[in-house]
Structure 1
Amino acid sequence: MKKKSLLVYGLSAMCLSFALPGPVAAVSNESCMECHSDDSLERDASTGHLASLFVDIEKFNASVHNFDEESCVGCHNAIEELDWDSDVPHPVDMPNPDCAECHDETVPAWAGSVHAEADITCYDCHNYHAPVQLAGRQTVAMMREAVWGKCHDAGASHDWLPQKEVHFRTGQCTVCHAPEDGSHVIFRLYDVTENRFLSCNEIMTGLQISGSFMANFDTDGDGVISPAEFQDFGEKLRERRFTTDIRAELN
């Protein structure tokens, strides 16, 4: 009797294992590329314009999302499974990816920016299918190529800036346009005859002034050296016959 009960229990368990659905397998990137590798794939966006649905897999493979092993459905998480019997194997109307799910520090900063006020989203600037890996400090030239060149014409809007291409090759947008980022420029005097930087004490002694630099040259007391105040500093260097040029370093 005991053996019979065990046999019935075992058969029941086997039947249940076949009857109950197993976990839905994750949708692979390869499955998505069955359709999205077609560069002619597009749809009507809400604006009435055609929106390309093509994903360049080579660019995606070289992106930080791929390096971080992010899957398509990791961002497009409204897709739980694919129905290949339908014309479109997943929901047609889906919410945009929520970048805040991963970028929880960056998105709040964006929320208080002029980009947010203008309703410019993350993916208006960043190609989330192929976000570029940018390491270290990014110069204006690098960012123009990678991110914001399609909206901002830095060349036209910075005609007032002396030696603007030098600034673009070496400077960062955030130094001027996002001071809260903490980046700033340090100006140092380089003696071209002695091939060395001058110390603060040497500069103050050579100019025959005492006290702090800001006390002498921040004439309006606002805590910032304006272009006019900086020009006045340069004039005093020439008056005292300094054989120096001014070199800038990012910090």
Structure 2
Amino acid sequence: MTIEIGTLIYQGKAKGVYETDDPQKVVVEFRDDITAGNGAKKDNLSEKGFWNSIISAKLFEILEEARIRTQYVELIKPGLMLSKKLEMIPLEVITRNIAAGSLLKRYPFEPKQTFEPPIIQIDYKSDEYGDPMLNDDIAIALGLIDEYRLKIIKETTLRINKVLKDFLESKGILFPDFKIEFGYDADGNIVLGDEISPDTCRFWDMETCDTLDKDLFRQGESGVLDAYKKVASMILDDEDKEKWNI
């Protein structure tokens, strides 16, 4: 498939979104930029976009096989993902299976405490307001979502969590928490968008509990890219590895 990449229509901290010759599709570029602390800490890691795009594509494919709508169409090549164009909903939906990160700073949970059922946390995606946590009433009062669609998002998020958690654990990876975003497609359906990668998820080695995600960068530790590569090597099958020369 030949894709004509057009005008840049959105640039985030680590990705760009471009128009294509199909008005209903965009190309998402995964850059090598890495940030933490709402952009306060920045760096550039060669090939980070390569690995994030491959990991995201694999996990989107797993969800598509489970009949969960995503914006993913195909990985054109590492770093460039063809996706359905969405009108993004300004919510960050965080699912927590194990207590880690900011949750431990805000609440008296025990480190590595497990949650069954998992906790769903929703934040307002707004740099201006510092991405504050929302309750349902505030999200609805702000006009970000209505009650019916919020219920769909929560139900879909729990399905996503179950599918990904089962898959990752089968590959030897614990799934403490992750952040996802949703948008509306051309037909008004609520669709999973953005990415699912070590930038937006916590991945721990099941045997050692070693960190395999962006927490290494947040904490100023080395081996960030090696951790991303390890996640890819654990979740990709031989056909995937051969396709991308891994």
- Return the TM-score normalized by structure 2: 0.24
Structure (1 or 2) with the greater helix fraction: 1
Normalising by the residue count of structure 1, what TM-score does the alignment of the two structures yield? 0.23
Larger RCO (alpha carbons 8 Å, 6+ apart): 2
Higher fraction of strand: 2
